[in-house]
Amino acid sequence: MNRESVVAKKKFGQNFLKDQSVLRQIVEAMPKNDNKIVEIGPGLGDLTKFLVDVKSVEAFEVDTDLCKLLQSTFKEEIATKRLHINCGDVLEAWQSELVSEPYDLVANLPYYIATNIILKALADPMCKNILVMVQLEVAEKFCASSGEKVFGSLGVIAQSVGTAQIVVKVPPTAFDPQPKVDSAVFLIQKKRDRNDKEFEDMLRVAFSQPRKTLVKNLSSKYDKKLLQEALEELELALTIRPHQVNTNDYHQLYKLTRSLDGRKDTRGSTK
């Protein structure tokens, strides 16, 4: 098989990035450090070509046809250990750490599992930075600030582990075949790992009905009166909507709700 005869497989989210200027912008946005690069879904190897020029790359590709093609395209880089290709589903290979040394994830991700991959990378202690192309809507959620309509649990999680910013927005014409949606490359620079499941459970409830008030949403999990006391302590209006609360206040609220939980139990036992 040669690259001209490859037919993109929809089931693997194959939209190959053809625009050379976007490929260059991805490489230019890479944080300068000694970390290894992990690329998920190298596809035809267009981004890989740029990456192996800069650093050594560990790649994960699910499509066995593309794996064979990559193995013949990158014979030399594989022989000199500049590139290692793992053939198979990255999600199956991913235990708590995807590789055993510090790495930056750089990829044009398959959109059908992009959010899942990013959340796993945020929790992976070996992953230090994430520079990925995803659907624009998803990038905007991770990079949103409080007050913006799209600010939700993904934005709070990203801000809790580090900083997130859009690098470049990319139109469908940059790909072959063209996706139906706009895309964007964005960068998360991690300062710590995502590791607080209970905090994220609270966020899920807080944003369960984004147009309702925060109190209304959280009262399905916490005593409403105690919740109101917590909001007053944080000087947050009782009418505040979930997207209007900032990340720091979500962490404060989480601490308070945990202590409130104790008080709720105490109140309950005296009834």
Ligand X SMILES: C[S@@+](CC[C@H](N)C(=O)[O-])C[C@H]1O[C@@H](n2cnc3c(N)ncnc32)[C@H](O)[C@@H]1O
Give the annotated binding-site residues for S-adenosyl-L-methionine.
15, 17, 41, 61, 89, 108
Helices 46-54 and 20-28: angle between axes, nearest 10 degrees: 30
Is 98 a binding residue for ligand X by CB under 6 A? The answer is no
Tokens of 34: 């000694």
Q: Which amino acid is at 269?
A: S
222 by DSSP, 3-state: which? coil
| Phi, psi dihedral angles at 86 (to 5 degrees) | -100, 120
In angstroms, what is the minimal distance from the CB of 110 to ligand X?
3
From 54-62, 121-129, 141-149, 237-245, span contacting ligand X (CB under 6 A): 54-62
Q: Which CB atom, from 76 or from 89, has the smaller least distance to ligand X?
A: 89
Instruction: Determine which residue in the list 6, 12, 58, 219 makes contact with ligand X, applying CB under 6 A.
Output: 12
Asked if 52 and 32 count as a contact pair (C-beta separation under 8 A), the reply is: no
The answer, yes or no, to whether the previous bond of 177 is cis (omega within 30 of 0) is yes
Is 27 a binding residue for ligand X by CB under 6 A? The answer is no
Q: Which CB atom, from 133 or from 156, has the smaller least distance to ligand X?
A: 133
Q: Which CB atom, from 15 or from 159, has the smaller least distance to ligand X?
A: 15
In angstroms, what is the minimal distance from the CB of 52 to ligand X?
13
Alpha-helical (H) ranges within 164-221 are 197-206, 214-218
Q: Which CB atom, from 66 or from 245, has the smaller least distance to ligand X?
A: 66
Helices 114-123 and 136-143: angle between axes, nearest 10 degrees: 30
Name the site residues for ligand X (rule: CB under 6 A).
12-17, 40-44, 46-47, 60-63, 66, 89-91, 108, 110, 113
